Amino acid sequence: MSNYQKQLSEFTRDYFAGATTGIILSTGLGSIAAMFILMNGHGIYEMIQLGIIVVVCMWYNASVLAQLKPKFVFNSLIVSVTVSLVLLILNTF
């Protein structure tokens, strides 16, 4: 069984705890990434990055609030955290 399958089964088994923790994680990383993006300036490139981070984080929050299937919510969490980390790393250096 792959690591993804293990994490997905754990997330599915305890959905509400995982979703709540995911909201905190996604929103926290997204806000930190947004802060670093805005620290680099206010040009069109930064506004596009800011829009991407807002949409991705809100996508996860909306999927939790809509009570979509656990696999979709889990995949949305992975996408949200990955995009947040990538934009955070890009704007750190």
pTM of the model: 0.85
Q: What is the pLDDT of residues 20-71, one digit of tens each?
A: 999 999 999 999 999 999 998 888 999 999 999 999 999 999 999 998 899 9
Q: Which DSSP category does 67 fall into?
A: T
The 10s digit of each residue's pLDDT in 11-22 is 899 998 989 999
Q: What is the pLDDT of residue 56?
A: 94
Taking every pair of Cα atoms in the chain, the longest distance, rounded to a whole number of angstroms, is 46
User: What pLDDT shows up at residue 84?
Assistant: 93
Angstrom distance (rounded) from CA 19 to CA 8: 12
Q: Residue 2 carries which DSSP code?
A: -
